[in-house]
Structure 1
Amino acid sequence: MLPCFRRPAVRENVFMIRILLIDDHAIIREGFKRLFQASPSYRVVAETGEAAQAVQLARTRQADVAVVDLSLGNPDGGFALLRDFARMLPDVRRVVVSMHADPGVVMRALDHGAQGYVTKATAMGELVDVLDCVMAGGTALSSDVSRAVERPKTFGLTQREQETLRGLLSELPPKAIAADLGISVKTLYRHRTSLMAKLGARTTAALPRIARERGLLPPDS
């Protein structure tokens, strides 16, 4: 049984729930469509691989829920689309289906407006379970990432990873940061890879913004 948070009484399915699929891989979209063809509650009314088309499609096809991949043209494409939906079409539910299981990525997606999160490594049937919860007004995650909602303040960063984060944000060259920390550049890069995974940062350039979002930096830093 998947965790379903803040779930009210289950609503009755008085109509077919209309899905907008947003994934830049046609073969993935085809797999989702076959899954929903076997469901009595859901119907795919539109699909696209372009984030720029998604909001307009949701409007014209009157989608009830958007199933969103995070990798849409650039590392932040899916996150930006979640924000657009939350701001422009708040009544359209938002469920992420992604290859990323890192807790930082999951929490960042929730922060940007996702109400459900399913990894592509889980059984396809879990997507329907998550959708059922989200359409009932709850928030749900697939079984392999459900612990991410605990949202620890330090996000599991070790003291050395926190020091590495501060060093990377100082804009000093890697060799100088490593020297300050008393470690090799190779070890510095290993700490950087680990903290990026924990924070859900897919590029080094994204670290300052994501660290602020996580409350690890003051807003004006």
Structure 2
Amino acid sequence: MSGSPIRVLLVDDHAVMRAGFRMILESAGDIVVVGEASTGAEAVATASALRPDVVCMDVQMPDMDGIEATRRIIADPTASPAIVVVTTFDRDDYLFDALAAGASGFLLKNAGPEELISAVRVAAAGDALLAPEVTRRVIARFARPPHSPAAIGRPDPPVVTSEPRAVGTNGVELTDRETEVLRLVAQALSNAEIARRLYIGEATVKTHVSNVLQKLGARDRVAAVVYAHRHGLA
């Protein structure tokens, strides 16, 4: 992404909201809004045609909601944007359905301009982002004991111990550096910030993050953060 602006598609059924987002994002200097859509179906078609880096997706819209639109965009091999759901409604079903559909972030519309800009940058960098208001609920949801009523039917997650190089009950093992990277991921640091903190290259950080996700069987950084909090690595 370095050297070229982050290309964003805005999806919201309110023109005033889209205009406000456009003004905020384009004021950042490194972000350009390449298109807009007012319905879920229009978002799917526009994402395929424009191939943006990031989609800012509303939830409640005519003809197709943002959750289904997210699912279809993620499933389309011709377009691979990161999707940040931006909604007025602080509801658990929207939050968890969006993450299950493949969204990289979840932000509330009462967030400040800096938070919106940061969310787009984080998503464009391949990282995941959650609004501070919902992070604790995500951790609580996925960190329930495996045999609690809410967890029945889910496979037991890999066990990550708090000691570097320790082997969990189902064979998960992290190196010293991978454990260190996971701790920083759990602090919501981006790859670039982790690289600066550890005095290593950003490409090296990406490799460590990829290895951590693979070892944990985690789909994305949000799942890795959940594991880190659950096992005292945060």
**TM-score under structure 1 length normalisation:** 0.60
Partner residue in 1 for 2:66: 78
C-alpha distance in 2 between matches for 1:151 and 1:112? 19
Give how far 1:106 is off: 1.1
Q: Which residue of 2 aligns with 1:214?
A: none
- Structure 1, residues 6-44: CA drift from partner, whole Å, max 9, x if none? xxxxxx522011111110000000100110121111100
Secondary structure at 1:128 match in 2: helix
**Cα pair 2:8 2:53 within 8 Å, conserved:** yes
Amino acid in structure 2 at the alignment position of 1:86: I
Bigger relative contact order, structure 1 or 2, given CA contacts below 8 A and separation 6+?
A: 1
Count of residue correspondences: 146
**2:75 is matched by which residue type in structure 1?**
R
The unaligned stretches of length 5 or more in structure 1 are: 1-11, 156-161, 163-221
Q: How does 1:74-113 map to 2 (within 5 A)?
A: 77-89=65-77, 91-113=80-102
- How far apart, CA to CA, are the structure 1 residues paired with 2:142 and 2:81? 30
Structure 2: gaps spanning 5 or more residues? 145-149, 151-234
SS at match of 1:40: coil
Q: CA deviation at 1:114?
A: 0.7
SS of match in other structure, 2:85: strand
RMSD: 2.4
Contact kept in structure 2, 1:118 and 1:141, CA below 8 Å: yes
Shift of 1:153: 5.6
> 1:116 aligns to what?
105
Runs ≥4 residues deviating over 6 A: none
Identity %, equivalent residues: 28
Deviates more, 1:86-95 or 1:146-155: 146-155
Q: Secondary structure of the residue that 2:60 maps to in structure 1?
A: coil
Name the residue aligned to 2:39: 50
CA distance in 2, matches of 1:34, 1:112: 28
Deviations 1:103-157 (A, max 9, x none): 34212211111101110122122111122221111110122222232152698xx
Which region of structure 1 is more displaced relative to structure 2, 41-50 or 102-111? Answer: 102-111
Task: From the CA coordinates, give the structure whose radius of gyration is larger.
Answer: 1
